[in-house]
Each structure stands twice: as C-alpha cells, then as structure tokens.
Structure 1
Amino acid sequence: MTSPVMTVIRVNLEKAKEVARNWERASYPELSAYCLEILREIGCSSNELPVNLQTREQQLNFITGFASYAFGEVLNVQSAK
C-alpha cells in the first residue's frame, strides 16, 4: 500500500522539478534576483545572496526546494478544510 504522505511528497516534488526546469532557461541575473526575492519573502533583509547561493546549480536547487516546500504548504492548507 502506498502512503498518502509519500504520494503528496512525490506530487510536490514533480511540481517543484517543473518549476526548476522552467528556471533552467533563465539567465544568471534572473536566477539571482528570484533567489533574493524568495529570501525577502521568508524574512531575510539582505540585498546580497549568501555564499551558499553563488552558483547557478545552488540557485536552482534553492528554487526547487522552496517550490517543493511551497506546494506542500498549499496542499496542507487545502487538505485541512
């Protein structure tokens, strides 16, 4: 039997990967700006990316992780109704 939790995680991960694929075509400045936007959204006030978000790969991983978390939060709110 498949766990409903694992199904939700898998769906969220697939949606997050789709977001990442869309961002793979973005330029480095666009990626950097979006990462800064995410950081501001979660309460970071810096105008510069931290050391661990300097490469394109790090930024794409960050965007993917944030998208996965965000989709999970949306699904959790919807399932609570």
Structure 2
Amino acid sequence: MTSPAMTVFRVNQQRAKQVSLEWERASYSELSAYCLHILREIGCPDTELPENLRTRDQQLNFITGFASFAFGEVLNVQSIN
C-alpha cells in the first residue's frame, strides 16, 4: 500500500481549460445553476450561491477549478521525479 504522504495531485490543465472555454459562452443563469449543481455534488445543501460565487468571473473560476480537480490524477511522487 502506498503511503498517503507519498502522493501528489497532478492537474490535467488542458481538459480544465476546455471546460472553461465551453462555459464562457453560457449565460449567467446557466453558470449559476451549474455552480449550485457542483456545490450539491460535493455535499453543500444550499439553494443559493455563497457571496464568493456571485459574479460571472468567480463562477467561471470555480467551474474551472472544479474541472481541474475532477480531471486530475493522483500519482506516486516517486513516479514523477
């Protein structure tokens, strides 16, 4: 078994950028709805966006960050050195 201290998270930035570009064309209401969907997926029961997700830029950054996490992979540190 690999020690949890010996892993690193590597982000697939290319796929995250593709997601971001797709969502840049979305309306504000579509962005808001998707952000709420992501929040529910990670266990937040709120029905309203928090203060830090009220602007379009904040929402796009959140979606891109979530995509980075979702498309990332956990690698053994020794395999990337």
Q: Distance in 1 between matches of 2:38 and 2:63?
A: 8
Structure 1 Cα separation of the partners of residues 54 and 13 of structure 2:
23
Name the one with the larger helix percent.
1
Cα deviation digits, residues 11-69 of structure 1 (max 9, x gap)? x1111011000000000000000000000000000000000000000000000000000
Q: Who is 1:59 aligned against? A: 59
The aligned amino acid for 2:21 is R
Structure 2 alignment gaps of length 5 or more: 1-7, 77-81
TM-score (norm. length: structure 1): 0.77
AA aligned opposite 1:67: A
User: Larger radius of gyration, structure 1 or 2?
Assistant: 2
1:16-31 mapped onto 2 (5 Å cutoff):
16-31=16-31
Which protein, 1 or 2, shows the higher relative CO under an 8 Å CA cutoff with sep ≥ 6?
A: 2
In structure 1, runs of 5+ residues without a counterpart are: none
State the 4+ residue runs in structure 1 displaced beyond 4 angstroms.
none
Equivalent AA in structure 1 for residue 32 of structure 2 = S
Aligned length in residues: 69
TM-score (norm 2): 0.77
Percent of paired sites with the same residue:
67
| RMSD (Å), alpha carbons | 2.0
